Amino acid sequence: MKIIGIDLSGPANHKDTVLTVFKQNQSELIFEGMMKHGSDHDVISAIFEASLEDDVVIGIDAPLSYQDGGGDRPQDKSIRQIIKSYGLSGSSIMPPTLTKMVYLTLRGISLTRRIQSMQSEHSIRIVEVHPGAAIGTRIESTKIQHALLYKKELQSRKVILEWLRTKKLVNLPDQLVDTSHEIDACAAALAAWYWIDETKKPTWCWSETSQEHPYEFCC
């Protein structure tokens, strides 16, 4: 199985979109490659190529639906409470229709619908993820400050990278610390792995789906 983690940015900001590809090998995720500065075409092409080889599970860090009428979805309220209980910042969970989020939401919805329309011999499954929560709800309490600082601090990204290696993500290159987007793409894959693997369990998962909110959300 291929596990893909995507740290998605808005449609006009390709430079901050990073996609990582992993191969599941029993109890490990083996890093196979990374795509930076991803356009919609780049993302779709990378997923299609992976689907030619194996079943694919994709963890996407972006809202994949919105609440009719605006504001939080129920799952936004739930995960905000969870991460605050771990000492993380609840402000990282923003309503999908907030002005600074709405274009990211639009891109997430558009991409997932295009992915679903792919014709492939292998299955493709999608889950919405929150990489910061995937890190912060699992990392040791003595290192929680790095889960709060890694988006701005290089040293914290180095700590998070070493921690990811302890979570059985194998062959991670040192260059992943260049920006937080590479770290987040790996953490997105980690969350998707814990979601799909029957021997594992997400820290938190919103499994209620509907036509309005078709994807599960986990960390």
Task: Reply yes or no on whether the pLDDT at 141 is more than 90.
Answer: yes
Q: pLDDT by residue (tens digit) across 8-57? A: 999 999 999 999 999 999 899 999 999 999 999 999 999 999 999 999 99
Task: Reply yes or no on whether the pLDDT at 119 is more than 90.
Answer: no
Task: Reply yes or no on whether the pLDDT at 121 is more than 90.
Answer: no
pLDDT for the residue numbered 76:
98
Domain with 101, as residue range(s), is 2-218
Task: Reply yes or no on whether the pLDDT at 120 is more than 90.
Answer: no
Report the distance separating Cα 70 and Cα 95, nearest Å. 8
pLDDT for the residue numbered 219:
97
Count: domains in the chain = 1
pLDDT for the residue numbered 26:
85
Q: pLDDT by residue (tens digit) across 146-195? A: 999 999 999 999 999 999 999 999 999 999 999 999 999 999 999 999 99
Sign of CA dihedral 209, 219, 92, 38: negative
pTM of the model: 0.97
**Segments of the chain assigned E as strands:** 2-7, 18-25, 28-36, 56-61, 124-129, 169-170, 205-206, 217-218
Within 58-168, where are the H helices? Answer: 74-85, 102-116, 131-136, 144-149, 154-166
Report the distance separating Cα 128 and Cα 214, nearest Å. 10
Q: pLDDT by residue (tens digit) across 64-88? A: 999 999 999 999 999 999 999 999 9
Distance of CA 118 to the CA centre of its chain: 20
Task: Give the residue-averaged pLDDT of 97-126.
Answer: 95
